[in-house]
Structures are given as C-alpha cells and as structure tokens.
Structure 1
Amino acid sequence: MKISESDLIINPDGSIYHLNLLPGDIAETIITVGDPDRVGEVSKYFDQIEFKKGKREFVTHTGYVGKKRVTVLSTGIGTDNIDIVFNELDALVNVDFETREIKKSLTSLNIIRVGTSGAVQPDIPMGTILASSYGLGMDALMNYYVHQLSPDEQLLLDDVKTHFGQLKHINPYLTAADDGLLHTIGKDMIHGITITAPGFYAPQGRIVRAKNSVTDFIGLINSFQRNQHRITNLEMETAGIYALAKVLGHKALSINAILASRVKFEFSNEPNKIVEQAIKMVLERV
C-alpha cells in the first residue's frame, strides 16, 4: 500500500518535511543532541564533514570519524520532537520516496542520544556520564502507538505502576536500551532507569511560582528500587527514543551528562566541560 501524501509529507525538493533531509543524507550511526548549537560541538571532532543542513530546530551534520560515516542531528526538546525525528529518520531509510511504499529490505539504525540530565540519587555526583538501561516515560507519547513489551520490561513496568499508583492521571511506559549498545558504548558507565518528563519545571519536581500537584516528586522517584533496578536521573527525551526505536526496529542508547543533583539542589559550574566529555566518550566508542 502507498503511504498518502498527508501521512508522509515530502518537500518539492524530495526531502522529508521537517528534517529537510534526502534519503542517503544520513548514516546508519546517528548521534542525537537536543540543542542545535551542540551539533557543531560534536562534528568538530569529525575527520571529514560531508554536509551540513538545517531547518527549524533540526540541524544535521554528516561526516566521518575515521572510516565510519556518522550523522549528528539536533532534536530540540521533548518527546513531541522525538516523534517527528524518529518517524522521519525511519522513513528516510525504510520508505521508497518515489513509490511511497515501505521497502522490502529494512534498515536498522544505531541511534545514540548525548544529552544533559539531573541525578535523583545522592551517590551520583555531578560530572557523571550515565547510560540509561531503561527509559521510563511520564509523558503521553506511547498512548498513540502499539508498543509490545518484553517479559522483563512488563514485570518492571508493573512494579513502577504500583510504586507510582498515587499518580492516577499518568500512564507510564517503559522500554529497555539496546543491550549491544549498552554494553559497548555504555560500558564502564553507571547504568540506571531514566525518567522522561513532559516538561522541565513541575513535571520534574521543580518549584518556582506555580504550585505543584505532586508533592515531593523527587522523593517518590528516588525511593523506587526493584532488585538491581533504581531510578537514577530525569530528562525529557530518552523514553520516547527507546520506545519508538523499538517500535520501528532500530537500536538506541541514551548517554546522560549529569549537570545537576536534584537531591542536593546543586547545578554544575562547568556544564560544557561535562557535555564535551560525554561527546568524546561516545565518538571514541562508535
């Protein structure tokens, strides 16, 4: 069946609607960052840059690290943007833009997020580079997709739902990292469950002027523990990345530069240095 023009929008130049990329523009190894300005902070370490493109918050550089072709792409903030980016990345490699049909032979991308995050456990110091073993979504994205869980994911999610049972209006979802990427790119790092929130302030337990509906959200988060699993950090993209990667047949890993301690109420005075360390570690391991 052909995919309709309204379901998959292709620009007059043959590029995908939001990302403004052509099939063939992206490598099979993709590094995602939230901030468009961070794309250049990654690609400056490339041995060769093939091209640069940008539209809205979506900036893309493709080039080579040694002989390996790599793309770095900014997603912007939040799982609403992840929905756009992952569906369009998948279409670029798995849909024939001429016939608007799904290709018979599908491509599985390796997608590594390098992002910033805040720790919710007191023993995780600022400056830590952490790999997300699971993404736990507190947003609504996966309510709109058929999402099959493994037995291990289902058991852990059942425990999560019991622990967060007081949050009647939230329907969490949970997906594991790709095991191969977790134990290659994420080797020697602290591993833990990463919560993905649908906002930066009250949805992450911050209090400025507006009153929060959930009291002591950080305390609720960091008190969860099941066997070796605990929640380690908070951010805004990982769960959507993991869930959509699994739905679409891609491999994903989230690497988190810990810039804040949410239990000690501290923020790093050298955030750029920590992010640069995470970028270098990922590029050395891809």
Structure 2
Amino acid sequence: MSKASSELILNADGSIYHCNIRPEHLADIVITVGDPNRVERVSQHFDTIEHKASKREIVTHTGTYKGTRMTVISTGMGTDNIDIVFSELDALANIDLETGEVKSELRKLSFVRLGTSGALQADIPVDSYVIGSHGLGLDGLLHYYKGSEDVMMPEVEDAFIAHTNWSEKKTRPYLVEASESLMNKLVSNQTKQGITATACGFYGPQGRFLRLEPNPADINEYLTSFSHGDLRITNFEMETSAIYGLAKMMGHEALSLNAIVANRILGEFSKDPYTTVDNMIVYALDRLAL
C-alpha cells in the first residue's frame, strides 16, 4: 500500500520533509549528533564532502572518511526529534519516494550516536567514553508503535520498576539492547559499557532541582543503585533508548557512544569538554572505517 502525501511528506525538490535530503545523499553508516554545530566537528575529518543540507536543527553532511562513505546528521535534543529523523532516514532507505511503496529489498543502516552524557557511577570519570550496551527508555516513545514489545526486555524492566517503585502515573520504562556488530567495532579498553538511561527532559526528569522539585527527588540514586545480573546503569541522557528501539524495529543496527562530560554522583564537570568530544569523534571514525 502506498503512503498518503500527508504521511510521507516531501519537499518540492523531492527531498524528505524535515531532513531535507534525497535517498542518494544517505550513506549506509549514519553518525547522529544532537548539536547541529557538532556536524562540522565530525565532517572536518572527512576526506571529501559530497553533499550538505540543513533545515531547522537538522544539519546533514555526507562524505568519506579514509575511503568509507558516511553521513553525519544532527537530531537536536530528545526522543521526539529521534522519532522524526529516524523515521525519515528509514523512509529514504526503504520506501520508493515516487510511488510511496515499501521496497521489496530492504536496506540496513548502521547508526552510531556520538553524544555527551552524565555518569551515574562514581567509578566512571569525566572525559571517559561510555557505550550503551542497552538503552533504558523513561520517555515512552516506543509504546506508540505496534510490535515494540518484541524488541523490549520485560524481565529487566520489571526489576527496574520494582526497584524504583515506579509511579503508575508515568509511562512504563522499556529496555532495548544495542547492536552486537557495532559493539564489536566500537568497544575497546578505552570504553566502558552499561545501560544508558534516556530521560524525557533535562531538568526534573534527570533529577535537577532549580525552582521546581523533581518527583522523585532522588531519581539518580535509584538509577545508580539498580543492577540486574551484570547490568548496571552507567549514564543519563535524552536520545539512546529511542535510537535503539526504532532502529531494531526497522531492522537497522544502532549504538550510542557518549563522552562523559559530568559525573552526577561526584558533582564534577569536565574542564575541557570540547577536547573530550573531539577525541571521541576521531576514535569512532577510525573504528567505523576499519
């Protein structure tokens, strides 16, 4: 069944509505960053840049790094933006934009998020790199899609709900595993691994107290003290769970690599976060190009 024009929205030049690129502009390896300014911090290392596009907070550069074709795209902050960008990139890969029909042969993309995050364990220092072996969604996005239960891990979710006495007024947390193949590429003695928790906001949902008191006020303590088998929650941010869930449901690979710019338990912040992020970018590019 073809998609209605109100569902699959295109610009006048045939590009997809928000991302503003056409299928030929999309590489199989896609690096996602939150900050639009970080796109150039990644693409400055490319050998060549074949295409640039921008619309609102979504900036895209496609080129090659050491001969490997890659696209780097900014998503902005939050799982709502991930829903837009990942849905449109999957459409570019797997829907014929002229007919609106899903292609008979589906294309698999490899998504690698390069982000910043706060550590939730005292032994994870600022300026280190953390790979999310799993994404813990406190945001609710995946519950809006049929079949999302197929990619979730209910046993661990139930243990987390019991541990935190999770309020029934809030959306049910969900857990999705990272891509094994991308884990094998990116893991090294320079990285730490664990569950990356994804919040639906930066302040109250992550336990920050300005004028309004978070509920619960001690959410970080609950996250830090949770464990299930050899799993523990290592860090907190705003995108990973949606990336893992949508990618897995669509048949893509996804991994989230975060530079730790703050340690929420120790109350520390990196003295040079830009250098830490730049070093992480080169680390990821080198391993993706192998």
TM-score by length of 2: 0.96
How is 1:163-174 mapped onto 2 (pairs within 5 angstroms)?
Answer: 163-170=163-170, 171-174=172-175
Distance in 1, Cα, partners of 2:206 & 2:276: 21
Deviation at 1:237, TM superposition (A): 0.2
1:178 aligns with 2:179: yes
Whether the 8 Å CA contact 1:149–1:175 is kept in 2: the answer is no
Aligned residue identity for 2:182: L
Match of 2:71 in 1: 71
How is 1:9-88 mapped onto 2 (pairs within 5 angstroms)?
Answer: 9-88=9-88
Whether the 8 Å CA contact 2:151–2:245 is kept in 1: the answer is no
Match of 1:258 in 2: 260
Distance in 2, Cα, partners of 1:195 & 1:145: 20
Kindly tell me: are residues 210 and 79 of structure 1, through their superposed partners in 2, closer, same or farther at Cα, counting changes over 3 Å? same
Identify which range, 17-26 or 159-168, moves more after superposition. Answer: 159-168
Whether the 8 Å CA contact 2:132–2:194 is kept in 1: the answer is yes
Deviation at 1:184, TM superposition (A): 1.3
State the secondary structure of the residue aligned to 1:276: helix
Distance in 1, Cα, partners of 2:166 & 2:91: 39
Whether the 8 Å CA contact 2:117–2:262 is kept in 1: the answer is yes
How is 1:1-286 mapped onto 2 (pairs within 5 angstroms)?
Answer: 1-146=1-146, 147-149=148-150, 153-170=153-170, 171-188=172-189, 189-286=191-288
List structure 1 runs of 4+ shifted beyond 3 angstroms: 148-151
Whether the 8 Å CA contact 1:260–1:267 is kept in 2: the answer is yes
Aligned residue identity for 1:89: L
Deviation at 1:231, TM superposition (A): 0.4
Distance in 2, Cα, partners of 1:72 & 1:150: 26
Q: Deviations over 1:56-113 (max 9, x none)?
A: 0000000001221000000000000000000000000100011110000000100000
User: How many equivalent residue pairs?
Assistant: 285
Deviation at 1:236, TM superposition (A): 0.2
Q: RMSD value over aligned CA atoms?
A: 1.1
Whether the 8 Å CA contact 2:125–2:260 is kept in 1: the answer is yes
Gaps of 5+ in 2: none
Deviation at 1:149, TM superposition (A): 3.5
TM-score by length of 1: 0.97
Whether the 8 Å CA contact 1:186–1:255 is kept in 2: the answer is no
Distance in 2, Cα, partners of 1:168 & 1:269: 40
Deviation at 1:150, TM superposition (A): 5.5
Q: Deviations over 1:106-148 (max 9, x none)?
A: 0010000000000010010001101000000101211201213
Report percent identity of matched pairs: 48
Distance in 1, Cα, partners of 2:48 & 2:260: 29
